[in-house]
Amino acid sequence: MRNTTYFNLLILLVMACNSNTRKGDEHVKITGIDSSRKPGDDFFMYVNGIWYDSARIPESQTGVGSYSFLNFPQRIRLRAILDSVSKADNTPGSIEQKVGDFYASGMDTAAINKRGYEPIKSLLTRIDGLKDRNELLKLVCEEQKSGNASILGFYVAPDDRNSSMNIAQFAQTGIGLPERDYYFKTDSSTIKIQNAYRQYLTKLFELTGVDQATAAKQADITYSLEKQLAGSHKTNIELRDVKANYNKLAVTSLAKKHANLNWPLVLNELGAKTDSVNVGQPAYYVKVNSLLASVSLNDWKTYLKANTLTNYAGYLSKPFVDASFEYTKALTGQAVQKPRAEEMTQAVDRSLGHALAQLYVKKYFPEEAKKRMRVLVDNLKKAFEARIIRLDWMSDSTKTKAKEKLNAFTEKIGYPDKWRDYSAVEVNRNTYFENRLAANRNDYNYNLAKLGQPVDRTEWLTTPPTVTAYNNPPMNEIVFPAGILQSPYFDLYADDALNYGGIGMVIGHEITHSFDDQGAQFDKAGNVTDWWTKADYEKFQARTQQVIDQYNQFTVLDSMHIKGPLTVGENTADIAGVAIAYDAFKLTEQGKDTTKIDGFTQDQRFFISIARIWRVKTRDEFLRMYVNTNPHSPAKWRVNGPLMNFTPFYNAFNVQPGDKMYKPEAERITVW
């Protein structure tokens, strides 16, 4: 009965995120509008209120609706694929065998529970046996290769000053709470999370056979060390400073600065052959270097054991998984654990994602979608170029370079032209823990192989089934995976009003990221350079400051406000994304038509579509964490914020002074 209820709920969720569309329909009928609300007071609730008031968040989820939460019903599709291939007689070494056996190994909870924490016992013993700092660093580097990252935030990525080449990069890391401020805030919500995290660490130590008093002491040692590391971290807002996060240094120079960290040994153990690295946040590595001398080896051992337990808890037996979930519950408000099949579907997507994606696109992604998306992207680019030309605050010389950058875009739609190879990953149907480590090591080697090599501009940074889109400034590219090319964002058979208000807004948003507070610092080749005139850039900054100031005023929960400086890039992209999509819509025949459909004008259908793509409802706990850590505004303000700044919206819905969303025309923000 429980399973039946669960799947009935899933069907309802999928229906909530999709429109009533059939092949051959001339238009999609818009339903669910809450006519009791004034569109000029709260357009998000005018469009979504009836759904919002009746929507029920599944106990295993933190939210429901579109955007990232559309990945929930998306996982049902992926699960169906995995259920099928895991039961089939697959050719050894085929992608079907790898993803099927990986999934089956994770579903075999009896075997996993029987092993307890045996898979990491020898590692914990090795940590106990460390004799000095260099042995500690060697173990840290070795574990990094298996996905057990601790004090080193190592990765390989394009050089911001030479985007055609990949270099070694080191970022701040080393903490278990979501970000630095969670260690220092004293409000009741944060203290609750701090306590839950300490209890989580204590429970993990207890599960390895340590008595409660000793486990609590070890948790305190770990938390204290993490708090010291957190104190050296930049805030999420400070991390937005592109130039401040570029600090390329010679290894010889680093070795002199950080004698305790022993950079030559570290790089050798990581397999990173290089004479220079970019240290994104230097203060963090200064702190690590200091703590390696001031903190006792025994305390470092405790920290590494805690880090190992938290990294691998989800791969181990049920008591470890349950302990991890209790912390997640406090952090996000999620009421119950996700069904095992959903967890394993996510695990396969993380570990063998581009293999699973091949099976997904074959079954669910129509090639015709690529063709229509190309038209949409081309029209959005035309619309953005026209807006650049019309800008009254930008000089002709900067406009020329902006247009060159726009026309140099790479657009990726649906899925890669070449698929990632997983032939090096050995998957055994009976050993889930080892399968996870094999995939982690493959990921590490895949990333390491890029070091010192030309950037592969065909690479994708997300798996195609994922409901997302992204802009990658060093590659000067915009990417729209197959996962987002479905309703409510994109419907191959829907009219232009809905598609331009849906995926068109997303396209405009991603285009604008190349010209937001961060993206604007990259030139057409993806290098961080000053391609603006000084006067133009100052005018640009004045406009983005208006965005910061406006969004700082939006209240989310109680007295919690949106963090304008953290979300400025996304908010700028939302404001411009709506405008660009509208201009592009006006290039279509439907956009020029004045005929009403089901009582709505073409413009009204366009704006209603914008509100539908952010139809989201979340738990309050999750929303608090989201506001603290996420550079996007909450869904409601991704609708109301841009629209209150856009005059055609006022015209479409007769928004007047006195309406809550009304702003005098002089106060409506236009950046692009």
Q: pLDDT per residue over 239-252, tens digit each?
A: 999 999 999 999 99
For 456-506, how does the pLDDT look when each residue is reduced to its tens digit (9 = 90+)? 999 999 999 999 999 999 999 999 999 999 999 999 999 999 999 999 999
Phi-psi region of 153 (alpha: psi -120 to 50; beta: other; left: phi over 0): beta
pLDDT for res 69: 87
pTM comes to: 0.92
The count of residues in the chain is 672
Strand 162-171 and strand 276-279: the pairing is: parallel
Domain coordinates of the chain in residue numbers? Answer: 139-315, 374-410+487-667
pLDDT for res 67: 84
For residue 520, give the DSSP letter: G
CA 644/CA 640 separation, integer angstroms: 6
Q: If you average pLDDT over every residue of the chain, what do you get?
A: 94
pLDDT for res 26: 56
Q: How confident is the model at residue 558 (pLDDT cuts 50, 70, 90)?
A: confident
Instruction: Say which CATH superfamily domain 139-315 falls into.
Output: Neutral endopeptidase , domain2 (1.10.1380.10)
For residue 339, give the DSSP letter: P
| Local structure of 157: helix, strand or coil | strand
**In sequence order, what are the residues at sequence separation of 6 or more whose Cβ sits closer than 8 angstroms to the Cβ of residue 350?**
439
Using the predicted structure, report yes or no on whether residue 581 has a pLDDT greater than 60. yes
> Which residues in 322-334 are b (16+ Cβ under 10 Å) and which e?
ebbbebbbbbbbb
CA 3/CA 10 separation, integer angstroms: 11
Using the predicted structure, report yes or no on whether residue 4 has a pLDDT greater than 70. no
CA 508/CA 573 separation, integer angstroms: 7
For 266-307, how does the pLDDT look when each residue is reduced to its tens digit (9 = 90+)? 999 999 999 999 999 999 999 999 999 999 999 999 999 999
- 339 preceded by a cis bond (ω within 30 of 0): no
> Which residues in 495-515 are b (16+ Cβ under 10 Å) and which e?
bbbbbbbbbbbbbbbbbbbbb
How many CB atoms are located within 10 Å of the residue 282 CB?
19
Using the predicted structure, report yes or no on whether residue 634 has a pLDDT greater than 90. yes
Using the predicted structure, report yes or no on whether residue 9 has a pLDDT greater than 90. no
Q: Cβ(383)–Cβ(587) under 8 Å? A: yes
pLDDT for res 162: 97
For 585-608, how does the pLDDT look when each residue is reduced to its tens digit (9 = 90+)? 999 999 999 899 989 999 999 999
What does the CA dihedral 532, 535, 536, 538 come to, rounded to 10 degrees?
100
Instruction: Say which CATH superfamily domain 374-410+487-667 falls into.
Output: Collagenase (Catalytic Domain) (3.40.390.10)
Q: How confident is the model at residue 3 (pLDDT cuts 50, 70, 90)?
A: very low
Using the predicted structure, report yes or no on whether residue 584 has a pLDDT greater than 50. yes
CA 484/CA 506 separation, integer angstroms: 10
- What is the token pair recorded at 139? 């173990």
Averaged pLDDT for residues 527-544? 96
Kindly state the percentage of the chain with pLDDT values over 70: 96
Using the predicted structure, report yes or no on whether residue 2 has a pLDDT greater than 50. no
Using the predicted structure, report yes or no on whether residue 394 has a pLDDT greater than 90. yes
